[in-house]
Amino acid sequence: MKAVFVTGIHTDAGKTIASAILCQALQMDYWKPIQSGADEDSDTLTVKGLLGETSSVFHPEAYRLQAPLSPHAAANIDGVEIVLHKIKRPNSDRLLIEGAGGLLVPLNNKDVVADLIQADDKVVLVSRHYLGSINHTILSVAYLNQKGIVPGILFNGSENPATEKAIANFGESTILGRIDDAENVDADFVFLQSEKLKNELEKWLME
């Protein structure tokens, strides 16, 4: 099975919740290669908590940085340099990878998050509606298309048909569905969302 790389149109698009839902729906293992803000948060622990009892394997981060900043800035504070070739993928045939921030977030002076994506990965782009999200989503799709990647777009939040239609009209992408808004995001919510999206996700993954 191809690896799934989850990215977003900005930092708060909902990548971690989406990752938990995808892991549940597709029974995938989870890996966050680079974790910033480790003093305050851990996306690995968040996903683990949202999945509850699961057969998913949670792999340790390649870089665990303390400050809640862009990886290149957090690494500088910690006195380390993120080296791309030192980031080795875990041995898993059902691997979900969650990126840090958006596609062009710097890792160092020359590499960005998108450089972690391999040619045969399936890429999920999480898009959340706000003023400017159409531009951010279309730019992300255009960048991925230039790399020969047709992303699956997963909307997160309230439905906005006009915005979603506009996004679908530009560039090559597949609309995977929507994660509903919720005041309380817990294991039950993740399970229900995964059941709703499962068929479409499985079909897309096999394309």
Domains, in order of start, for the chain: 4-206 (3.40.50.300)
Q: Give dist(CA 162, CA 151) in Å, integer.
A: 20
Write the pLDDT tens digit of every residue in 104-117: 999 999 999 999 99
**Sign, Cα dihedral of 51, 106, 176, 207:** negative
Write the pLDDT tens digit of every residue in 150-180: 999 999 999 999 999 999 999 999 999 999 9
Q: Which residue has the tokens 């099975």?
A: 1
Write the pLDDT tens digit of every residue in 98-150: 999 999 999 999 999 999 999 999 999 999 999 999 999 999 999 999 999 99
Q: Give dist(CA 125, CA 35) in Å, integer.
A: 19
pLDDT band at 41 (very low <50, low <70, confident <90, very high): confident
Check residue 39 and give its pLDDT: 74
Could you list the active site residues? Answer: 32
